[in-house]
Chain A
Amino acid sequence: MSAVQQANILGGRSLREAWRTPEALAPTLFIPVFFLIVNFGQAGKIFPSDSTGFLHGQTYAAFQLPISLLLAASFGTAALFLVEDIEGGYFDKLRAAPVSRSALVLGRLLAEFVKSAAITTVLVIVALPFGVSIASGPVGFVLLVLLTSLWAVVFSGFMQLIALKTRSAAATNSGGLVFFPLLFLTPNFVPRDMLTRPMEIAATLNPVTYVMEAMRWLVLQDLAWEPLARGFGVVAVLGVLMVALNVRVIRDYD
């Protein structure tokens, strides 16, 4: 059996685990929707769609949707389940099987990709009543789901690294918080050129900015090569890095 087949089997188990823990899944949906509604409610009047150029004729909720999607993709429940496996001894049972070490970490990342794709779809549907549409059409929608799900893999890979290194739920939870400032050092309320200079510099240096801008482009405008290349480039580089680090850590895991 190939490593890919093994990762598929383990991914299926992780999806079952997520499905059977709705209490862990609920915040992943609720909090992003909450932020979408609150941010739209607070700033919707400041940025009316007919006189705000950067909205391209849509409501401010469309501008906010990528932040909610990124937030949803940046919950680290998969890594916490991994810590549970480690603490409960099930991870050792898996390690004692002739399973590719890479499959042990890739299975969860694969599940995270699928889970994120489903959650992204749900969130886009939830956003529709707020005047949001995907301006780049069906292809743009698919790319939006793909980009968000790849980001979920990057973030889960980061969390999984902490889990494998520390084997502690508390440390994994805290480690995830380190990533959160990066989500907010972005042009999350207005476009980058409207930020104060220090904030603009910080946002420009932050790779998450390019993922957010690519997602925003897909929601507000037609398909365009440059912003998408930057967004997908960031997730590709970080994704490869996270997977490589995960595989390295699991191979040395004692």
Chain B
Amino acid sequence: MTTTTQPPRQPAHSSRQLYASDLLRLSSVGLRTRKLRAALSALGIAIGVAAIVAVLGLSQSAESGLLAQIDALGTNILTVSNGQTVFGQPAELPTQAPAIVRHIDGVTAVQDTGQVPNVDVYHSPLIPSIDTNALTVQATSLGLLSDIHDTLAQGTFLNAATAREPVAVLGAIAAQRLGIDWVFSGERIWLDNQWFYVAGILNQAVYASAIDTSVLVGFPAAETYLGFDGHPSTIYVRTQTDRTASVQPLLAKAANPEDPSQVSVSQPSEALTARAAAQSALNGLFLGLGAVALLVGAIGVANIMVISVLERRSEIGLRRALGATRRHIRMQFLSEAVLLSLIGGAIGVAVGAAAVASYTYLKGETTVIPTEAWAGGIAAAIVIGAIAGLMPALRAARMSPTEALWSL
């Protein structure tokens, strides 16, 4: 079967690159033969990538939830509220302010609430008076709900009749703090030394979080029973969507022509967007921790590869004797390091994504794994593997085949 003068199989007389399948098989030799060691050194990379994917995924999911809410509610709501006087006292908005604002071109609806000062609210007269629960009592106009996109959790809102009577509607947090979780006929609260009947409980208000900790009563009732002077403290203005920007600068002057500087105007959707962005900014810390884990993982991979090269000297020598070029040896060890950390990276992405998915599932949010998180995690793993594997691979390739084979 053996003849001595056969022409070489290849027309080429110098070595060529390995087939991709062979390279893949070669690069996994070390991992397959030393599974535990490979697993442990991939773990560092996995933890780092998982941390990064989880942090980015969680913040993105939260942010996208918030932004989706904003999208659904629209960005055409502006709030006008009483600012402060130059002496730091709360300023008052004129009682006719809502009506004036309503006349601005582009405004489609106006609602207002007025904080009733010095009034506390309790579940019953038996509650000690210091347990105010930090709740406020607000007089409200009747169309408030639809304008600020809030909804009722239970019961009914105030109407023209109940607005004149001692009847209240509770904000979501106010109901919680008062210990009222459902509305029945005859349910009442102790408000400024008299009973008010509870008509309904609101859901959380996205755009008007002040409503959540408030007990709402009608303007006439507030004036009749609570001695309220009728000055609104917050005006919710709804505009045509494309006119929001042009309406905003006019509001201060319209609401308080005498002293526009005592009026503060804001756009709740903008505040929410800013909040979403602020949440992402906090992630820097955790991303930094993930990066440190990645660095430690990279050192682990480099360490394992250095040891592996030393242990496998005879294998390297044999491969050279079988016709491997230095390049073949270099590629083998480099791709082994890349494969090792790629496996770590893939596990990290899977774990990070699973963490995000289970968290958002529990919170009922949508799961968002940003592309830059998982693709970046994988890419970082590949780059780290290449860097960590470079030095050991160069050492392996530099090894002389005679030393590698005969110095054992």
Q: Do the two shown chains form a genuine complex with each other?
A: no
Q: Which residues of A contact B (CB under 8 A)?
A: none
Q: Which residues of B contact A (CB under 8 A)?
A: none
